[in-house]
Structure 1
Amino acid sequence: MTTTEKQESKFHMLLQQQVRSEFNASQQYIALAVWFDSHDLPRLAAHFYRQAIEERNHGMMIVQFLMDNDIPVSIPSTDEVRNEFDEARELVALALAQEREVTAEIENLAKTARAEDDYIGEQFMQWFLKEQVEEVAQMSTLLNVVDRAGGNLFEVENFLAREQVGDEGNDPSAPPAAGGAL
């Protein structure tokens, strides 16, 4: 496959769009973290600040993959994020919906790579598929905890202080991120 063919592949076009999606997710997580921070909920804030960095890293992994495969990269702008919420449950429900949407995008990327016989692209997407299972599971757990807390967010804070929810550190199987993972 020549560089020109790579540029025209649907898979590579979708990867470019996924960079935007990952950066949008990062920005939205920053907005959620700031909301929790401004409501004196430091554990929830820290959780979403970490999520923002993780999503940024995912975008930069895709950027590195594109560069490694001689595919020109265009860094996209991000969409507007939601900043106004009435209660904590809305934020976590939004995060879960966002992760489910990203999962559908990642599944589509994997299917497209397979359909185009792009075995390198298909292999690259395997890590992201595994990662999305973790992302959806952690947000589902967090939403269940918020619901069970019955409005007492200090119980959610205690849960986050006590339990490991989400990223458990460096994953040696993760693709490299352009500029290095934060």
Structure 2
Amino acid sequence: MTQSAPTKPSEFHHLLQQQIRNEFTASQQYIAVAVYFDSHHLPQLAKRFYTQATEERRHAMMMIQYLLDNHVDVTVPGIDDVITDFDSVRAPVELALKQEEAVTEQITKLARTARDNGDYLGEQFMQWFLKEQVEETAGMNTLLTIVDRAGHDVFNVEDFVAREMNAAPRADSTAPKTAGSGA
């Protein structure tokens, strides 16, 4: 069986490669946030961000699989620096919201680039990520609102997160295939 030659990377492919780095960085940032909450004995917030870290890594792996499926060479990137010191419970949640807003801009740019360049497969691939960003940004916005309302009573935040945000993620049959998943 002969292998196909790698496809010449397009502008969309280059941006997607950069986004893989962004997703791995986001994953590490969420681990740093989770560790902060764990070290402050806030297990529900920690669990929420450990789960979010896994989700961001999964996004990167979906992007890797897309490039592999399209015979585009993939370079596994390093990550950018992450913030590990926070002065309040609010600070890491605010950082997470800003991060999700930035990722939304990046994903939107990817979808726009695919559309502008007539890459209909790339545009279709990005649709799931656009939907995902609406959910993730809304969730972080809600969490920041709850943190602000709770003031110094972080146990109310813990109760809210346990009740409303730490349910097992639903399987999404429309999600792109993840590299290494065998699916």
Instruction: Please state which band the TM-score falls in when normalised by the shorter chain.
Output: over 0.9
Where does residue 92 of structure 2 map in the other structure?
A: 91
1:144-163 aligned at under 5 Å gives the runs 144-163=145-164
Hey, what's the Cα distance between the residues in 2 that align with 1:165 and 1:85? 22
Q: Does the CA-based 8 Å contact 2:12-2:114 persist in structure 1?
A: yes
Where does residue 50 of structure 1 map in the other structure?
A: 51
SS of the aligned residue for 2:8 comes to helix
1:113 has 2:87 as partner: no
CA RMSD across the alignment = 1.7
Gaps of 5+ in 1: none
* TM-score for the superposition, normalised by structure 1: 0.94
Gaps of 5+ in 2: none
State the one-letter code of the partner of 1:177. Answer: T
Number of matched residues? 179
Distance 1:151 1:84, change over 3 A: same
* TM-score for the superposition, normalised by structure 2: 0.94
Hey, what's the Cα distance between the residues in 2 that align with 1:147 and 1:121? 39
Where does residue 9 of structure 1 map in the other structure?
A: 10
Hey, what's the Cα distance between the residues in 1 that align with 2:90 and 2:82? 17
Distance 1:91 1:167, change over 3 A: farther
Q: What do residues 19-65 of structure 1 show as CA deviations (whole Å, max 9, x unaligned)?
A: 00000000000000000000000000000000000000000000000
Q: Does the CA-based 8 Å contact 2:93-2:143 persist in structure 1?
A: yes
Q: Does the CA-based 8 Å contact 1:134-1:166 persist in structure 2?
A: no
Hey, what's the Cα distance between the residues in 1 that align with 2:116 and 2:110? 10
SS of the aligned residue for 1:87 comes to coil
Hey, what's the Cα distance between the residues in 1 that align with 2:58 and 2:8? 23
